[in-house]
Amino acid sequence: MFTDSPRLCMIGARSLSVVVLACAGVQAQTCPPLPDASGVFVFEDLGNPGRSYSIDPGQAFTPDRRPVAVVSPFNGSYSDTNPMGWVGWFRNPETSGPELVQRLDDAWDAGFRRIVINRPGGILRNNDMVQMSMFYYLEPARRQAYSVHMRSWIIEKRAIDPSLEVGVFIGSRHNSPCTPCLEPGADLTSTSDCTDDPNYLPGWQGRLDAATRRSAEWTFQNTHPYLYSGVDALWFDSASLRGNTTGAISMRDSILALQHNPDYAGVHIGGEAVPEGVVVDGQWRPNPAVLQAPWVALHRFFLQNSRAGEVYDPQTTEVGVAFMKPDVNPVYDIRDMADFRDRGYVLWSWRAFSFDFMQRLYDGDNNEFYDSVVREGTLADFNGDDRVDTRDLHDFLERITAPQPPLRPSIWDGDVNNDDHRDFADVLYYLGVYGG
């Protein structure tokens, strides 16, 4: 059954009309009771000092350098029977929970201790906006994939490694928590249903805005089920400076503000895409927001424009590069990922295709990545392209003789025996597995 925190159970039909709104869109679900949002904190809400917060300049932003694995219940494979675009393994609500846990296990077993669930509520076909509302309209069994199955998995794994971070990648655009711009009897092939919805807020007002009470309430209600289920990172799609900038505060600044909101204490708040910068005297300078919050964008974003030249300080910034399938243009291989790693970016495996690369680029805080690749017995495939050939020997010799190894060299840096030194012992070790 769907369970939630005591706070949720106390709600009752508060002021929000959406409490009783029937979410009769895709699966004709009834919206369950929403958590009480009357006490949420609102950014610089001067008329409500007890529930107002501001940015604490003394609270330094702490970047997380660990790589990320993305688990995607959604992949846009729409059909008449799959209006939310679920990936195959998530289509059957009754088996969605065990199937989700299996993918979480895959990421964990590959060595990842940071995992992000991509679009946990799916996306409506013909709706080009990624919604923040991604929970209440789901069927009960699919809600339980998160509130029961994922929650139990997180509790179990966090007991093994408290550093485990699990996030959700949702939208910066929201309307009522019970409807992704749907109303009873909505035609899923029509985009006009969004504007027909009595709860629809056009333009900027429908987007994340930490200084607007309604946004703060809906953000709280939309994210609460995931935070209750153990999620401790929120990634908001389409949250950079690009687009509408006429809100009370911008989405970019809302990302910065939310990090200081007591309602999200201990939660990593990030946005997509990387905020704009400016060119000063021929030098590209990132927007200061980049230096104060985590951001992520697809690898195309970096490889196809001038940002490829950017260098971020790993000590103060967290800029993620999300790698899709290696055969999607622009193509990349382990060298490209190593290059981004060495320049201070955080690598995201948006698809499991790049797990092999990650295991060669990182050791893991407790050697999780190294142990995974050794367990699979594939060290001879030095470059992780699923083939053992002379290119691997070439790459190994090239890497182990390359100058300036990282402070803690990985497999790709030539430390194949994982003793954090690159020396002749690694040569003997590699020749042994390569010849074997």
| Site residues (vs Ca ion, CB under 5 A) | 381, 383, 385, 387, 392, 415, 417, 419, 421, 426
| Closest distance of CB 108 from Ca ion, Å | 25
Write out the DSSP string of 361-422: H---TTSHHHHHHHHTT-TTSTT-SS--SHHHHHHHHHHHT-SS--SS--TTTT-TT-SS--
| Residue (93 or 326) nearer to Ca ion, CB | 326
Q: Which is nearer to Ca ion, 320 or 414 (CB)?
A: 414
Return the number of the residue (288 or 377) whose C-beta is nearest Ca ion. 377
Whose Cβ is closer to Ca ion: residue 209's or residue 368's? 368
Q: What is the DSSP string of 194-236?
A: HHH-TT---GGGGB--TTSHHHHHHHHHHHHHHHHTT--EEEE
CA angle, residues 384, 386, 392, in degrees to nearest 5:
55
Count of residues in the chain: 436
For the bound state, the minimum distance from the C-beta of residue 412 to Ca ion, rounded and expressed in Å, comes to: 12
Number of C-beta neighbours around residue 54 at 10 A: 12
The whole-angstrom separation of Cα 77 and Cα 88 is 8
Q: Which is nearer to Ca ion, 168 or 380 (CB)?
A: 380
What radius of gyration, in Å, describes the C-alpha atoms of the chain?
23
Q: Is 101 helix (H, G, I), strand (E, B) or coil?
A: helix
CB of 387 to Ca ion, least distance (A): 5
Nearest approach in angstroms of CB 420 to Ca ion is: 7
| Residue number, 163 or 366, with CB nearest to Ca ion | 366
Three-state SS for 58? coil
Which residues neighbour 76 within 8 Å (Cβ) at sequence distance 6 or greater?
85, 123
Q: Specify the residue, 84 or 334, whose C-beta has the smaller distance to Ca ion.
A: 334
Of 77 and 401, which has the nearer Cβ to Ca ion?
A: 401
Comparison of 222 and 383: residue with beta carbon closer to Ca ion: 383
- What minimum distance in Å lies between the beta carbon of 303 and Ca ion? 22
* 313 burial via Cβ count (<10 Å: 0-12, 13-18, 19+): exposed
Neighbouring residues of 319: CB distance < 8 A, sequence distance ≥ 6: 274, 290, 294, 295, 296, 310, 312, 344, 345, 346
Give bridge partners of residue 349 from the DSSP assignment: 69, 323
The token pair at 39 is 């006490």
Least distance to Ca ion from the beta carbon of 254, Å?
45
CB of 408 to Ca ion, least distance (A): 11
CA distance 284 to 275: 13
Residue 183 or 363 with smaller CB distance to Ca ion: 363
Shortest separation between residue 334's beta carbon and Ca ion, angstroms: 9
In the complex with Ca ion, the residue whose CB is nearer, 226 or 412, is 412
Run of H or E including 52: strand 52-53
Q: Residue 384 Cβ, how far from Ca ion at the closest point, in Å?
A: 7
DSSP run (H or E) holding 95: helix 93-109
Which residues in 97-162 belong to E strands, given as ranges? 114-118
Report in angstroms how near the CB of residue 381 gets to Ca ion at its nearest. Answer: 4
Nearest to 254 by CA among 297, 218, 289, 301: 289
Minimum CB distance to Ca ion, residue 400 (Å):
9
